[in-house]
Amino acid sequence: MSDLIVVAFDDEATAFEMRAELAQMQKDYLLEMEDIVVVTRSADDKVQLHQAANLTALGAVSGGFWGAFIGLLFLNPFLGVVLGAGAGAVSGGMSDIGIDDDFMRGLGASLKPGTAAVFFLTRKITADKVIDRMAQFHAKGHVLQTSLNENIEASLRAALEPTTPVI
């Protein structure tokens, strides 16, 4: 089962820093992500999705390779590259893996202009170690949504959100 986590920040730079840190945590085998996207809302209210992987470009490259290979078999590699790249780009552009784009745009529209959010979908997570590494973002983020269990979510909120003094 996968878990969705959405963390909002008051600026775009911090959101991109968190994406980089999460990518490093994946390299360190602390979590396994299916998808990670930074959603920004500009001062003119435009919501933009910053995907970690461009599926259209990946599809074109993959299709070009396979098209060239098949083209070599039929003695026309150039035509194979052109057709393969075109088919790969179309299929890559039409496929949507991971977090639903419409969901991210909808939640992104609720952000204040000039802010950003990190959406990440994890398959596996070593929660205690990931939360410890999130300490560098303390008091900078706000957890908007998660599908984590209550204890882990509370620990994540404590690591990211500013503490409010009790009066």
pLDDT at 7 over 50: yes
Asked if residue 82 belongs to a domain, the reply is: yes
Task: Examine the domain organization and report whether 44 and 102 are in the same domain.
Answer: yes
65, 86 Cβ separation under 8 angstroms: no
At 64 the pLDDT is 54
Q: What is the pLDDT of residue 51?
A: 86
Residue 75 within any structural domain of the chain: yes
Same domain as 133, residue 87? no
Amino acid at 71: G
- The total of structural domains in the chain comes to 2
66 shares a domain with 39: no
pLDDT(34) > 60 = yes
| pLDDT single digits (tens) 125-157 | 999 999 999 989 988 999 998 888 899 889 988
In this structure, the answer to whether residues 106 and 140 fall within a common structural domain is: yes
Range of the domain at 60: 55-94
Across-strand partners of 143? Answer: 7
Task: Report if residue 166 sits inside a domain.
Answer: no
Section 30-55 average pLDDT: 86
pLDDT over 50 at 56, yes or no = no
Q: Does residue 165 belong to any structural domain of this protein? A: no
**Together in a domain, 108 and 147:** yes
Q: What is the pLDDT of residue 92?
A: 47
Identify whether 62 is part of a domain: yes
Share of the chain above pLDDT 70, in %: 71
Query: In terms of domains, do 121 and 80 share one?
Result: no
Say how far apart CA 68 and CA 1 lie, in whole Å.
Answer: 38
Is the CB of residue 30 less than 8 Å from the CB of residue 129?
A: yes
Which strand (E) or helix (H) includes residue 116?
A: strand 116-125
Residue 57 CA, chain-centre distance (Å), reads 17
Indicate whether 41 and 120 sit together in one domain: yes
Please compute the mean of the pLDDT values over residues 51-72 and round it to a whole number.
55
The answer to whether residue 74 is domain-embedded is: yes
Both 88 and 133 in a single domain? no
Residue 75 has pLDDT above 60, yes or no: no
Report the predicted TM-score, pTM, of the whole model to 2 decimal places: 0.72
For residues 58-80, b (16+ Cβ closer than 10 Å) or e, as one string?
Answer: ebbbbbbebbbebbeeeeebeeb
H or E element in which residue 164 lies: none
Token pair of 68 as six digits? 């060239």
The residue type of 137 is F
Shared domain check, 70 and 17: no
Tokens representing 103 are 């969901």
Q: What CATH number did the domain enclosing 118 receive? A: 3.40.1520
Q: Do 65 and 142 belong to one domain?
A: no
Tens of pLDDT, residues 92-124: 444 455 788 899 999 999 999 999 999 999 999
Q: Is residue 135 part of a domain?
A: yes
